[in-house]
Amino acid sequence: MYLFGAGTHYDIFKKLGAHPVVKDGQEGFYFAVWAPAAAEVYLIGEFNDWNETSHPMNRLEPLGVYELFVPGVALHSLYKYLIISASHQKLYKADPFANYEEKRPGNASATADIDSYVWKDTKWMNTRDEKDPRQQPIAIYEVHPGSWKRHPGPRENNEDGFYSYRELAQSLTDYVKEMGYTHVELMGIAEYPFDGSWGYQVTGYYAPTSRYGAPEDFKYLVDYLHKNGIGVILDWVPAHFPRDAHGLAEFDGSCLYEYADSRKGEHPDWGTKIFDFSKYEVKNFLIANALFWIEQYHVDGLRVDAVASMLYLDYGKQDGQWVPNKYGGNQNLEAIEFFKHLNSVVRGRHPGVLMIAEESTAWPAVTKMPEEDGLGFTYKWNMGWMHDFLDYMKLDPYFRKDNHNKMTFAMSYNSAENYILVLSHDEVVHLKCSMINKMPGYFSDKFANLRVGYAFMIGHPGKKLLFMGQDFAQLREWSEARELDWFLLGEEPHRQLHDFFKELLRLYRKYPALYELDHDWDGFEWINANDSYRSIFSFVRHGKSRRRNLLFVCNFTPMEYSDYRVGVPRKKQYKLVLDSDRPEFGGSGRPHEAVYMAEKSPCDGQPFSIAYPLSPYGVAVFEF
């Protein structure tokens, strides 16, 4: 309790919650819950037929932790805490530290033994911390497990057709390996009651959702991905939690986990509660939770949701709905300290683990270390690049010449942070259209636009993330209520785009120039950033050795150029390693030379140049 009260009991999840123990020769479960404002706490569950008075819990001071050992409790037994508040109100609460939860619509906690699983990913875990992630290829496949694939047929007994964790292990791994992604990012793993929240309103922070199986099944999924060389990132939501009666809200009759002042403790737009970062125990709950997923479930990274909402006291609020900090500003000083503490501990223990901030503003030094007055994240989602990129791609090609800077602006601040370029689930819902339907033109034009857009993304500095379904041009917006439209892969344009993106990922992993120096100007060189009239971009990517460099030429209009001349820095041979005009990618199939020799013909400020037949919406990548 001393360490918990100081905010430094980093494995408090081994004490609070429900744990199998042997006491006086009897097997059973030990239960413990933090509820300092409670007058009384009773343990109720299947083991006592939900009797509300038969199992009073013992209060421990000074923090108000209630504990009880119950012999004979079976694994996966449902239970709750009946909390009698100071005002004698009865509160039926799930366990904040439960390792397993009843499948919705039920909301009880369940006993579990998460230490019995035998891991087989020793090789992966032993090497994870040896590499600098900034110099590794990172291509993330963002997945909502419940709608990636579903079993066909009628739904009976309230079943949803979900793939189980163990079924996902095989199917998802096969797909990710085939495509060439390096990581999966899983949405909605921590338990949540409402499917439509996609997992962003969590009630069970220490429990993998029971929608897809038991805790040991989720461990199997992570283990299987690791054995196949694929990293696992989880969405993690420390910003807010829902008001559900069984959850954290007013847990012991007081505002235990949330700020008591509604101007600090509630999101008006989201209808959720905000964690009280001034309390050491609450910060401990969250920091230990991050370590729990990393150490108990071997996950390789956390994508931290809604960071901006935590940093700004006035986020989403009108005047009068927020309270300034002690200096009169809008920065949440307690949340800033929380992030520094969190990232110091996590990255100090696990240097190879990715801590990724979804931060949508220009907050400085998100990925600088706390010693440099940064927040300490490994990466930041580049939301600015995403907005500019999509704004440009939606335009009729005729108008792109007047918006050329949208595609070049991100390089002006690229070295400020360690970035991930993201085209996430948020961009293909709520009438925003799928990626393919954002593109202008006729049906065939849409695919050509998306090809050149994806190629630009892969060539641009920054790690990569793409949401499921967008690599084969899903036509419909994503919905959590149905599986992806996999049948589209039977149609030629979708299969061709799928193959093109697979080829982009192959190039990405093959050439260190595309990932070693993502955040360094030594790794990038504009050839022509100003060809706005023709809406063509050309640039070079360098690796540390500068031996296998790549020249990208991307044409964002339907105009054809039979001998487009592009400047090059060396009098070398330029080998064509990607040609979007190939018929298997949906191009015209016109044959191109395999190698182009640079000529002593200055162009684009370079001493040499090559001439290449650039097709409409064409992409050409050369190795030199």
CATH of the domain at 199: 3.20.20.80
Please check whether residue 439 lies inside any domain of the structure.
yes
Instruction: Locate 34 and state its tokens.
Output: 């933090």
| List of E strands, 305-452 | 354-357, 379-381, 419-423
pLDDT for 559-577, tens place per residue?
Answer: 999 999 999 999 999 999 9
pLDDT confidence bin for 158, thresholds 50/70/90: very low
Query: How many independent structural domains does the chain possess?
Result: 3
Task: Please name which of 247, 32, 240, 209 lies closest in space to residue 103, comparing C-alpha atoms.
Answer: 209
Please check whether residue 123 lies inside any domain of the structure.
no
Q: Is the per-residue pLDDT at 36 higher than 70?
A: yes
Instruction: Locate 596 and state its tokens.
Output: 């182009």
Q: Which residues on adjacent β-strands are paired with residue 42?
A: 56, 82
pLDDT for 108-130, tens place per residue?
Answer: 999 999 999 999 999 999 999 88
Q: What does the DSSP 8-state code read for residue 292?
A: I
**Percent helix / strand / coil, the chain, rounded to 5:** 30, 25, 45
Q: Which of 64, 94, 110 is a domain's end point?
A: 110
Residue 111 to residue 79: CA distance in whole angstroms = 8
Instruction: Locate 125 and state its tokens.
Output: 């875990």
CATH of the domain at 616: 2.60.40.1180
| H helix intervals, 292-426 | 307-311, 333-349, 383-393, 397-400
CB 567 within 8 A of CB 612: no
Same domain membership, residue 311 and residue 220: yes
Same domain membership, residue 147 and residue 32: no
Residues 6+ apart with CB under 8 A from 14: none
Same domain membership, residue 150 and residue 52: no
Same domain membership, residue 488 and residue 407: yes
CB 617 within 8 A of CB 555: yes
Please check whether residue 26 lies inside any domain of the structure.
yes
| CB neighbour class for 575 (10 Å; exposed up to 12, middle 13-18, buried from 19) | middle
Do the strands 183-186 and 139-143 form a parallel or antiparallel pair, or are they unpaired?
Answer: parallel
- The pLDDT > 70 percentage for the chain reads 99
Residue that the structure tokens 């069984």 belong to: 246
Same domain membership, residue 402 and residue 318: yes
Residue 52 to residue 45: CA distance in whole angstroms = 9
Task: Please name which of 147, 234, 246 lies closest in space to residue 189, comparing C-alpha atoms.
Answer: 234
- The pLDDT > 90 percentage for the chain reads 97
Task: Please name which of 195, 191, 236 lies closest in space to residue 218, comparing C-alpha atoms.
Answer: 191
Catalytic machinery residues: 305, 358
* DSSP-derived 3-state class of residue 144: coil
Same domain membership, residue 277 and residue 209: yes
| CB neighbour class for 131 (10 Å; exposed up to 12, middle 13-18, buried from 19) | exposed
* DSSP-derived 3-state class of residue 341: helix
- Mean pLDDT score, 498-519: 98
Which value, to the nearest 10 degrees, does the dihedral of the CA atoms of residues 394, 397, 399, 404 take?
A: 80
Q: Is the per-residue pLDDT at 156 higher than 80?
A: no
pLDDT for 134-144, tens place per residue?
Answer: 999 999 999 99
Which value, to the nearest 10 degrees, does the dihedral of the CA atoms of residues 472, 473, 474, 475 take?
A: -150
> What Å distances lie between residue 141 and 86, 109, 195, 320, 440, CA to CA?
48, 31, 21, 41, 25
Q: Is the per-residue pLDDT at 607 higher than 60?
A: yes
Same domain membership, residue 588 and residue 487: no
Please check whether residue 127 lies inside any domain of the structure.
no
pLDDT confidence bin for 157, thresholds 50/70/90: low
pLDDT confidence bin for 153, thresholds 50/70/90: confident
Mean pLDDT of the chain, nearest integer:
97
- Mean pLDDT score, 169-174: 98
Same domain membership, residue 252 and residue 197: yes
> What Å distances lie between residue 556 and 491, 537, 598, CA to CA?
25, 8, 24
Q: What does the DSSP 8-state code read for residue 293?
A: I
Q: What does the DSSP 8-state code read for residue 163?
A: P
Q: Which of 514, 545, 574 is a domain's end point?
A: 514
* DSSP-derived 3-state class of residue 97: coil
pLDDT for 377-389, tens place per residue?
Answer: 999 999 999 999 9
Q: At what angle do helices 165-179 and 215-227 cross, to 10 degrees?
A: 20
CB 172 within 8 A of CB 148: yes
Edge to edge, what strands does the sheet with 272-274 contain? 240-241, 272-274, 266-267
pLDDT for 220-260, tens place per residue?
Answer: 999 999 999 999 999 999 999 999 999 999 999 999 999 99
Please check whether residue 590 lies inside any domain of the structure.
yes
Q: Name the helix (H) or strand (E) containing 59.
A: strand 58-60
Please check whether residue 119 lies inside any domain of the structure.
no
CB 47 within 8 A of CB 79: yes
Please check whether residue 120 lies inside any domain of the structure.
no
Same domain membership, residue 492 and residue 542: no
- Cis? peptide before 62, omega within 30° of 0: yes
Q: Is the pTM of this model over 0.85?
A: yes
Full residue range of the structural domain in which residue 69 is found: 2-110
| CB neighbour class for 240 (10 Å; exposed up to 12, middle 13-18, buried from 19) | buried
Residue 108 to residue 602: CA distance in whole angstroms = 72
Residue 305 φ then ψ, to 5° = -80, 145
Say what the pLDDT of residue 591 is. 87
Same domain membership, residue 575 and residue 492: no
